[in-house]
């Protein structure tokens, strides 16, 4: 009798762990990046703040990136699982590519490539 009680307890604990894990995975997958974000961009020359407006439709991402240094640039990109990428081009032809990961519903982070002319890291926080 003791071993069957133990078996039921182990089975129940396993079921709870699996259910919690599946729920957490579903929550991560359900993140939609649509909204207004504040990006903190860290370069070797210092840190700057930017405003990013994103619209996600399925796996497509579009919006605008606004900074004091570059002005407002439209961008397009993709979301794949917990990662995303988008690129914005300046009027001078330089393309800036953001590649990142979704930390949670209100936080993202990643790397920024300045069109082969250096790079930076960024972190983004959704504005409430």
Q: What is the pLDDT of residues 3-38, one digit of tens each?
A: 566 655 555 555 465 445 544 444 445 799 999 999
Phi, psi of 112 (to 5 degrees): -125, 130
Please answer whether residues 97 and 113 qualify as being in contact, where contact means their C-beta atoms are separated by less than 8 angstroms: yes
Please answer whether residues 97 and 112 qualify as being in contact, where contact means their C-beta atoms are separated by less than 8 angstroms: yes
Residue 56 CB coordination number (10 Å): 18
- Mean pLDDT, rounded, for 63-92: 95
pLDDT value of position 116? 87
Half-sphere exposure of 37 (CA within 13 A, CB side): 24
């Amino acid at each position: 009798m003791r071993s069957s009680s133990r078996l039921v307890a182990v089975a129940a604990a396993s079921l709870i762990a699996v259910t919690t894990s599946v729920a957490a995975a579903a929550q991560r997958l359900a993140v939609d990046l649509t909204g207004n974000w504040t990006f903190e961009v860290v370069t070797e020359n210092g840190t700057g703040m930017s405003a990013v407006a994103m619209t996600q439709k399925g796996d497509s991402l579009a919006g605008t990136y606004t900074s004091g240094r570059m002005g407002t640039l439209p961008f397009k990109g993709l979301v794949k699982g917990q990662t995303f990428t988008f690129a914005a081009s300046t009027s001078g032809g330089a393309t800036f590519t953001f590649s990142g990961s979704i930390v949670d519903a209100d936080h993202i982070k990643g790397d920024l490539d300045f069109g082969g002319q250096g790079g930076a890291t960024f972190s983004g926080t959704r504005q409430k």
